[in-house]
Structure 1
Amino acid sequence: IKVRVFLCVFGLMLSVYALHVELSRESDPDYRAMCDLGESVSCSKVFTSRWGRGFGLVQFFVAQDSPLNQPNSLLGIIFYTLQMALGLSLSKKAALFLVFSSWVSVAGSLYLASILAFVLGDFCMVCVSTYIINFALLFTNLKRRKAIEGMKEKAR
């Protein structure tokens, strides 16, 4: 539980910071975030790119100003909050949902990492940190699901 809480809190903090950077940059184009270390090491450049909202995919299906086209960081806030809350449950369904949502987050991380490297040509410390957290949460959730299934089997 301690590892899960640490990963979720850290992921939540990074997501809130990413949202702060994006909103600050949108209201002030001269805003410089702490994670902007150079031309090719700039998190604000990544967060305000077209891939910083709806994974760059939502705008193909809805208008760019649609309420569905939200910052990726907002999705991160929801994801880490759900991970933390459902991590308190010993339900097999909750464990299954945690594993499934972790696989989705890892797939999203791989997609965004490829955009970061091959399209934007940028290094975003905040982004890479969340990718690592997502992989660690997947590992944690897989172990947890196995343990919960083992507990349920012993109870029979």
Structure 2
Amino acid sequence: MKTLQRSRAIIATGILGVIVSTYALYVEMAAESKPGYKALCDISEYASCSRVLTSEYSKGFGIIPKESALEVPNCIYGTLFYCFMIFLATFDHIGVIRLQLILAFAACTSSVYLGYLLAFVLRDVCVVCISTYFINGLLFWLVYKKYKSLMKKTK
């Protein structure tokens, strides 16, 4: 796969991430404002996106203090992350790709943390959340492939 194709795949994956994160924000806002709201991704009592997206871990990753201006929904952080990754994908400079690789790794690390909370603390299944974990993994893999491709060209 050529560098341009890899960049396009990163951009497409980033767009998918923005869409999923935007839907998560919609579900979170609707669930908080409308009592009894049932999202499309609320499959059962133990597979409820709206329950997960309104939990104490849904804002600031559950670690940012409640009074902080940084305590915003995780899906806003996700949307900003995906938009930044889309922007960075337009560059073929090795330094930019390294930054993308670090950011994608950080996203995967946060996915592991949030996945742990989802499975072992909340004991729930969130289709939207799990989708973002896969998107983050795919982004990391695509950026890694682009990085390896550019490294071959510089040798």
Structures share fold, TM-score greater than 0.5: yes
Task: Tell me the TM-score normalised to structure 2 length.
Answer: 0.92
> 2:104: which partner in 1?
102
Give the distance between the partners of 2:22 and 2:106, measured in 1 at CA. 20
1:55 to 61, 67, 71: 61
The residue identity in structure 2 corresponding to 1:69 is E
Larger RCO, structure (CA 8 Å, separation 6 or more):
2
2:140 to 138, 141, 145: 138
User: SS in structure 2 opposite 1:49?
Assistant: coil
1:81 to 80, 83, 91: 83
Q: Could you tell me how far 1:9 is from its partner in structure 2?
A: 1.0
**2:155 is equivalent to residue 121 of structure 1:** no
Give the distance between the partners of 1:97 and 1:34, measured in 2 at CA. 36
**2:28 is equivalent to residue 22 of structure 1:** yes
Q: Could you tell me how far 1:88 is from its partner in structure 2?
A: 0.6
Q: Could you tell me how far 1:150 is from its partner in structure 2?
A: 2.3
User: SS in structure 1 opposite 2:43?
Assistant: strand
Counting matched residue pairs gives 149
The residue identity in structure 2 corresponding to 1:2 is R
Q: Could you tell me how far 1:4 is from its partner in structure 2?
A: 1.3
User: SS in structure 2 opposite 1:41?
Assistant: coil
Q: Deviations over 1:82-124 (max 9, x none)?
A: 1111001011121011100011000000010010000111000
Q: Could you tell me how far 1:145 is from its partner in structure 2?
A: 1.1
> 1:90: which partner in 2?
92
> 2:49: which partner in 1?
43
Q: Deviations over 1:7-44 (max 9, x none)?
A: 11111100000011111111112211111111101011
Give the distance between the partners of 2:43 and 2:52, measured in 1 at CA. 13
Structure 1 segments unaligned to the other structure (5+ residues): none
Q: Could you tell me how far 1:48 is from its partner in structure 2?
A: 0.6
The residue identity in structure 2 corresponding to 1:111 is Y
